Structures are given as structure tokens and as C-alpha cells.
Structure 1
Amino acid sequence: MMNSLERRSTFALSSIFALRMLGLFMIIPVFAVAGQQYTGATPALIGLAVGIYGLSQACLQIPFSLWADRFSRKPLIIIGLALFAIGGAIAALSTSIYGVILGRAIAGSGAVSAVVMALLSDVTREEQRSKAMAFMGMSIGLSFMLAFSLGPWVTTKVGISGLFWVTTIMGMLAMLMLLLVPKVSRHYRVAPQGYLTQLKQVLAMGDLNRLHVSIFMLHLLLTAMFVFIPSQLIEYADIPLAKQGWVYLPLLLISLLFAFPSIILAEKYRKMRGIFITAVIAIVFGLAIMAFGDQSKYVLLLGLGLFFIAFNVMEALLPSWLSKSAPIQSKSTAMGINSSSQFLGAFCGGVLGGQLLGFAQTSWGWGLLTLLAVIWLGLTFSLKQPRYLSSIVVSLPETKKLDEWASILLAIHGIEEVVVMPEKQVAYLKLDKQQLNESSRQELSQLLGQELAI
């Protein structure tokens, strides 16, 4: 069961993530049509405007995450949210497609997704980490659901420029949510290395790279699909753009009903790998269904529903899996590479979606996306189950030399990380039970002044 600190922090950080995603993604289901009003707009530039934020995110996630492994994470998040809000304002004031592209690029340069996830892993115990990450993943899925549903509706009310102003407001609201998260100091068994050495170490881990490819492919397919499909829903399903949100909303709600049991099964019974591969298979089938029945209203909706089920499952599983597999001292760096892959995928998906709009037959576009998903599926079979750590919560000692106290704890074999929260007078000890022998248990019990049931 999460304690009050974990619940509050999880809610706040998930809300920050969701508000950013909502602001960035409301444009996706409407811009392929609404973006044609801008001066200089072409299909290729419209696709670029949709996906450009992903390119700037991909370029800056790793620098932000490397800094976050050395410095306080909260100021970096504030900087990123400020850039997000400024970029939305620039896009809202623009009358040409190039101004929108610039604004989206600046909004994307607030590349703090990995920093937010790393801060969440700091303030949650290992046993509750999966719940927290799953909650964040589901909040991301919910933000996509709301984005695809609200985007068309908001655009009919305030126009496309008003939609960009909404993203600026969301950025400012996200800054306020950060006030709910406590200040933390982190202590590791292994200190962070030089920037380049640390980056190379993380990039050399095969399973992490497969997770990076997975998030890249997931968001490439998602973004390409939502640049590609609005015009098909208008032509083949006779659903105008303003009403397409009411198509996405029930499909995504149904997908959540399937996603929740899948996430519980993956986390509680440690079936993460099996559920993950099953979700990729569902994405392949969803895209294949749309490739063979792209001109049928009900076949399109069936394929979309299957895609959304798998998407929501993977959005919940990927952050949790990554937090388990990444080296503790390089956690933010690993998450930064993953987030770079995610947003690079979104950029490539936006560009690809713009190209798909020019295909003579829509089935060719769905066929290409299906082929990419099949290639991705082949790469996932070599994934291994993640490592599981445990956590205990302890009260801080009377001493003011907390750094020394943390160093003594880290000298005990089996203790991997100590996260100190002075404001709450508690610390989380994150440990590997398999490495904690009887001598280590006794030493830890004496140091903390209590018998430990671990």
C-alpha cells in the first residue's frame, strides 16, 4: 500500500506528465485538416509541424537527464515546463506554418519527461514503484485519450490558435503541481561517472536498448496513424473532424477496461515480458485489420480499438520496466535515452504520416505501418524479465550529518541506494534481498536501532 507521501507525489508528477502530453498531443487528430489554413502549408510541412516537437525532445532529453543525475531534479522540471508554455504561445500567435513549426520545436525543447520519471522513482519505494509507474503510464494513456477526444472539440470552440493557448495554460498548471512533491537528496553506492562514460555504459545494455526501440516504434506508429486517419474517417466513415473525438473516446475507454487487468497481471505475478509481447502482437493485428479493411467504417474502428488496448498496456508497462532495469546511479540517463527514443519516434511518425497522405491507396499506408510493427515484434522476443529490488522506510537520525549517515548505510552489502527527504524526516533504503546476507541484516538492524523483517 502506498503511503500518503507516495500517493501525493505520484498524483502530482503524473499530472505534470499528463498535462504536458495533453498539450502536445491535442494537435495530432486535428492538424492534418485544420493546419491547411496556415500560410505556406503543405502536407509535408503539416506532418513536420505535428512531429517537430519530437525532434527537439529527442535532442535534449539526454542532456537534461544527464544533468538530473547530478543536480536537483525539480529546477530542471521548472525550466522545461517554462519552455513548453513559451512554445505554445509562439504557435498560438503564428499565422504561417513555419511559425507553428518553430513554436512546436520550442515547446518540445522542454525535454523533462525523463526527469519527471526519475523524480517519481526517487520518492517511491521499490515495492510501490510499479504501482506508481503504472499510474503514470495510465495517466499518459488517459492524456492521449483526452487529447484525441478534446482536440477536435476545442478546435471547433476556439480555433487552432486557441488550442495552442490551451497548451500554454497547461504548462503553467503543471508548474503549480510541482509544489506537492518534496525535496529529496540522493545517495548511491556507485557515484555517477563522467557524462560520456555514463552514457556509454547505459547504451551498452542490450535490454535497455530493446526498450528504447519499443518506445520509438510505439510512438512512431501512433503519430503516423493519427496524421493519416482523420481524412479516412471523413471519407469512408462520414465522420466530420469536429465529431471524431467522440469516436476515439469510447474506443479508449474500452481499451482501459482491458488494460487494467493486463497491468495487474504483469506486475503482481511478474508476467511483464509475456504481457509486453502480447501487446506488440495486438498492435500488429490492429494495423493489419486496418490495412485489409481501410475503406470500411467498422473495420477501421475495430483496428483502432485493438491498437488502443495494446497502446495503453505498453504505456503503463514501459516506465515500470525501465525503472527496474536501469542502473540506479544512471536512472535518469537511461530514462532520458528512452524519452529521446519516444519523441524521436513521434517526430518520424509525424513526417511519415505526412508522406502517407500522398499515397494513392490508403491500404498501402496501413500495410507499411503493419510491416514496421512486425519488425518491432521480432526484436522483442529477446527481452528478459526485469530485476526486482525491495525498499524500507526509516526515520532520519538526530544527526545533522545526513551525508555521512547515508554513506555508512551504503557501505553495507546489499544496500543499493538511499533517498533522503529531510522535510518529511524519512529515508527510503533500496536494497537487493539476494545480496543482503545475515551479517548485513544484523549490521543494518544495529545501525537503525530496530529489528528488520527482511
Structure 2
Amino acid sequence: MLTTNPMTALERRVVAALALLYSFRMLGLFMALPLLALYAADMLGASPLMIGVALGAYGATQALLQIPLGWLSDKIGRKPVILGGLAMFVLGSVVAALADSVQMIALGRALQGAGAISGSVMALAADLTSEEQRTKAMAVIGISIGLSFALALICGPLLAAWGGLEAVFWMTAALALLGMAIVALGIPTAATRTHEDVGADRNMFRPVLADPALQRLNGSVFLLHFMLTASFLVVPAVIEGSMGVPRESHWQVYLPVLVLSLLGMYPLLRLSERGGRTGLALKVTVLMMPASLAVLFLGTNTLMLYVALCGFFTAVNYLEAALPSLVSKAVFAHGKGTALGVYATCQFLGAFVGGSMGGLVYGSVGLNGLLWLVFVAAGLWLLLIWKMAPRAESGAAVSVF
């Protein structure tokens, strides 16, 4: 039976602090997304490939280190690992802020990703909350990630309009320093514990990697972030060129588009949760992404470009919310922490490969080549999830595969 007991005052303070810490870090990573393709184009060493690498560089180091750093936090404690990761994030932000070439920005972004503290933050939240409140705590932290993405698309262009790309990276460094203060002064030290639902278990990797349902979800999040990162090589230029919006005013486009996209999620959520048609909702959103990008990249009518942006972000926001929920429901007993760790690794790898491959194709073949790359990714995605049943029993997420 589910508990109705509220969080204690300490649990509320800890969850709020960790959600704020997590959002600061993700805000810093996301703010470069709508900016790099525009502001780095005139820097030394600029090319579509290098800009794509700079966009996704954090994903490579994040994917490589997040699980090992989570294991390290089991041995030496959560706070030392989190503080060390934030210090690395500050270093990467400073390197990027002082950069005079795209290569140095890519190095700074890679250093930012090397401060891979996601697993350690989640583990600390689990250490400091009771088991009955853990799901609520993880949900609050998860919501902070979505809000960070939305804020980044608005705050990034505003900051860049005031002080250029370097101002964004200096702000990122300041946010990480503030996060270090929150960890040091606002969060108590807890005894390290083992949690089946948080943290990767070495013994669980083989069954997690072999599970067909989890394979589809891991592939889905990889392709989602592949397409998202690749598309941002072009989306800012479309807003500036085809839509005629100067780069310092791009936030005026992103703000209403994001609000409308959140409203657009409602029928998809209704279809998925109340209608029990999760597979159909996923297929619809997978199709929405390349269709929206085709209109956005090739269209000329301003109203249609706004509609395309709304469709694209509706799909992204729905998928970001739905996929981790499906992982949590589909995973077998004792494998949740490992499954979520592998899922996050696939997510970050998708960002790196999407930025790098997207930049390579865009630089070699042009806009049409990038669009075809997105179409191919969407086609592979549809093949991956095609066996999902058209209707699943309510509450039985495993049966959607």
C-alpha cells in the first residue's frame, strides 16, 4: 500500500538543495545548445564538424565516467565525488570561457562532462531520504532537469546577447561554484548505503543489456539525443535566417514555442497514460521529429516555421518524460539502478555521436544531407520500437514490448 506520509523537514531541504544543484549543472550544459552553431562559426578552427563535436563533447566524457564515479562515491562518499565533479565542471567552464578556438571550446565541454556526478547526486538523495519518499525525491530532481532545458533555451540567448558566448560559460562556472557551496554548507553528510533502485550493480549489467524491452528504450534515448544535438547545428541559423529573428532575440521565439509544446504534450500523455497506447504515442512522436525538422529546414512561411518548432519540441519534451518512466516500469527486480545508469549512458553517447556525425554530414553534404541523416535515424527508431503493442494494459508497462 502506498504511503501518504509527507516528507520530513530534512528530506524536503535535501531534495530541494539537490534539485537546485542538478538544475544548475544541467542549465550550464544546455545553455550552449542554442548558441554554439551561431557564435562559434567565426572562431578559429570553426567547421560544421568541430562545432558538432563541441556541441556533443560533454556527452562522451559523461557517458564514460558517470557509472565509475558512482561506484567511487560508494567507496569514498558522495560529497567528495560531487564536489570534485563540480570543480571539474568549473574548470571546463573556465577553459571554454577563455577559448579562442572551437577546439578549446570542445575541450572545455569535454571537461564539463568529466564532472559526471549524476549518479552520485541520485545516490545521495537516496541516502538522505526514506525508501517510501524516494520515488517522490527522484521525481522532483527529474522535473528540475526538464525545467533546466527550457530555461537554458531562454537564458542562453539572453546572456549571449549581453556578453557573448564567453558570458554563458562564465555564468556556468558561477552556477557550479554556487552548487559547491550548496553541497558543502546545505547538505548533511550521510552514511553511504546500497540502493537497488539507484546506482549500477556490476552483477546486473549482463541481464540489463540482454533485456529486449530495455534495449529498445536505450536505443530510443540514444536516437532522441542523436537527433536533438544534430538538429541544433541548424535550428539557430533557421531562426536567424529564415525567420528573420536576430540572435539576441532568439529567446522570444523559444519562450512561446516551449509553452505551446508543453500544452501539446497533453494529448500525447492522455493517449499514453489513459488510453494505454504508449507504443502508438511513441511512434507518433518519433515521426513528428523528422517531419517538423523537414518543414523547419526547408520551409519559408514564418507561421509554418513556428508550427514546426512547436511540433519538434512537443515531441522532444514528451519523449524526455516518457522514456525514463518506461525504463523504471519495464525493468526486472533488483535491476532498476543499473538499467537507469545504462539508459543515461546511452543518452549522453547519443548527444556526442549526434553532434559529431551531424557536423560531419552537414559539412560534407550540406543541409539536405543532415536532413537525410535525421530521416535515417528516425527510420531506425521506428524499426526498433515497431514491435510495441498498439495497446498496453494499464500499469503493465512491460507488456508494451
State the TM-score, normalized to the length of structure 1.
Answer: 0.74
- Map of 1:244 onto structure 2: 250
**Distance in 1 of aligned mates of 2:98 and 2:39:** 15
- Map of 2:285 onto structure 1: 282
Q: CA deviation at 1:125?
A: 6.0
Structure 1: 5+ residue stretches without partners: 388-454
Out of 192, 210, 227, the residue aligned to residue 233 of structure 2 is 227
**Distance in 2 of aligned mates of 1:166 and 1:305:** 28
- Map of 1:254 onto structure 2: 260
More off after superposition, 151-160 vs 323-332: 323-332
Q: CA deviation at 1:72?
A: 3.4
**Distance in 1 of aligned mates of 2:32 and 2:138:** 26
What letter matches 1:79 in structure 2? G
- Map of 1:341 onto structure 2: 346
What letter matches 2:290 in structure 1? L
RMSD: 3.3
Give me the identity figure in percent: 38
Q: CA deviation at 1:371?
A: 3.2
What letter matches 1:205 in structure 2? D
Q: Does the alignment pair 1:3 with 2:7? A: yes
Structure 1 residue matching 2:40: 3-state secondary structure: helix
More off after superposition, 170-179 vs 244-253: 170-179
Q: CA deviation at 1:9?
A: 3.5
**Distance in 2 of aligned mates of 1:249 and 1:193:** 37
- Map of 1:407 onto structure 2: none
- Map of 1:372 onto structure 2: 377
**Distance in 2 of aligned mates of 1:250 and 1:42:** 31
What letter matches 2:303 in structure 1? Y
Over 3 Å counting, the alpha-carbon distance change for 1:10 and 1:308 in structure 2 is farther
What letter matches 2:238 in structure 1? Q
Which structure carries more strand by proportion?
1
Q: Is the 8 A contact 1:64 1:336 kept in 2?
A: no
Q: Does the alignment pair 1:295 with 2:302? A: no
**Distance in 2 of aligned mates of 1:127 and 1:374:** 41
More off after superposition, 156-165 vs 128-137: 128-137
Over 3 Å counting, the alpha-carbon distance change for 1:261 and 1:307 in structure 2 is same
- Map of 1:435 onto structure 2: none
Structure 2: 5+ residue stretches without partners: none
**Distance in 1 of aligned mates of 2:126 and 2:267:** 23
State the TM-score, normalized to the length of structure 2.
Answer: 0.82
What letter matches 2:350 in structure 1? G
- Map of 1:186 onto structure 2: 193
Over 3 Å counting, the alpha-carbon distance change for 1:40 and 1:161 in structure 2 is same
Size of the aligned set, in residue pairs, is: 382
Larger Rg: 1
Q: Does the alignment pair 1:19 with 2:24? A: yes
**Distance in 1 of aligned mates of 2:174 and 2:118:** 18
Over 3 Å counting, the alpha-carbon distance change for 1:232 and 1:330 in structure 2 is same
**Distance in 2 of aligned mates of 1:31 and 1:111:** 22
**Distance in 1 of aligned mates of 2:319 and 2:124:** 21
Q: Does the alignment pair 1:309 with 2:318? A: no
Q: CA deviation at 1:234?
A: 2.1
